[in-house]
């Protein structure tokens, strides 16, 4: 197996990021720095190391959809002992290399994918692959028509332009947005810049997946056809 694919399958990084790690001399094969991503390695014959730790043979790939609850942070671990999405999975997935695909802040609920498939995670979160995210936003103030128009047209924030794919009013205080960008607290910052206070923020869909049929904090494994659809949506061959 090629080294970059080995690292991606083991949950170290996406294949593209693995290329950078290898070319930077950070990956060791049999005690020597590897220099090219395409060299072949065998899990039973070769010792692969990254940052001083042995990289075990590629993990079985895991794909989980969660309805993230309020007050839980989207990280693998937390030094302040705050509740994490990984802790909600239980001990079964300890050592599996699974991590959240993208982020939802502690006060945002809804669809969250978790996986140890580094290549798929990279593509689903990179804006160039245009994986859509659907958010339902409820504000403390009534959202007027001019604000909806600004959302439709797009505008600039301090870290760059905002492009909204679709905007739909739910009621006087609530709006549904579809985005393919994913910057830190992007939805809350959009509404803050328009003068609104976000009361609740819920991601109803991520890359075509909805977790609204799950109880808050509940999760399930994706079916094989759902995994294949995800891979097709970002240009990966199903089963690769």
3-state class percentages of the chain: helix first, strand second, coil last, to nearest 5: 25, 30, 45
Tell me the C-alpha distance between 173 and 104, whole Å: 22
Q: Which residues of 121-156 are buried (b: 16+ CB within 10 A; e: fewer)?
A: bbbbbeeeeebebbbbbbbeeebeeebeebbeeeee
Structure-derived torsion over alpha carbons of residues 30, 34, 39, 41, reported in degrees to the nearest 10: 30
Tokens of 206: 């991520």
Beta-strand ranges (E) seen in the chain are: 27-29, 32-33, 48-50, 53-54, 63-68, 99-100, 108-115, 133-139, 155-157, 160-162, 166-171, 174-179, 198-206, 219-221
Tell me the C-alpha distance between 97 and 6, whole Å: 13
Verify whether residue 20 is a known catalytic residue.
no
Tell me the C-alpha distance between 230 and 5, whole Å: 19
Tell me the C-alpha distance between 212 and 199, whole Å: 19
Q: Which residue has the tokens 């239980």?
A: 90
- From 20, 78, 105, 144, the catalytic residue: 105
Catalytic residues: 105
């Amino acid at each position: 197996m090629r080294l970059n694919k080995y690292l991606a399958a083991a949950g170290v990084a996406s294949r593209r990021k693995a290329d950078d790690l290898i070319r930077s001399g950070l990956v060791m094969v049999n005690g020597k720095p590897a220099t090219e991503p395409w060299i072949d390695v065998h899990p039973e014959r070769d010792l692969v190391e990254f940052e001083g730790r042995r990289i075990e043979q590629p993990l079985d790939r895991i794909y989980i959809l969660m309805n993230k609850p309020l007050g839980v942070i989207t990280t693998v671990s937390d030094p302040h002992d705050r509740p994490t999405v990984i802790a909600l999975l239980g001990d079964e997935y300890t050592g599996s290399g699974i991590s959240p695909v993208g982020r939802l802040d502690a006060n945002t609920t809804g669809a969250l994918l978790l996986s140890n498939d580094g290549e798929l995670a990279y593509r689903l979160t990179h804006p160039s692959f245009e994986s859509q995210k659907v958010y339902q936003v409820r504000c403390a103030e009534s959202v007027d028509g001019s604000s909806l128009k600004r959302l439709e047209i797009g505008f600039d924030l301090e870290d760059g332009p905002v492009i909204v794919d679709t905007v739909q009013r739910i009621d006087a205080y609530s709006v549904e947005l579809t985005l393919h960008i994913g910057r830190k607290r992007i939805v809350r910052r959009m509404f803050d810049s328009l003068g609104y206070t976000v009361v609740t923020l819920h991601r109803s869909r991520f890359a075509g997946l909805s977790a609204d049929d799950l109880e808050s904090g509940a999760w399930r494994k994706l079916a094989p056809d759902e995994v294949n659809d995800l891979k097709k949506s970002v240009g990966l061959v199903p089963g690769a």
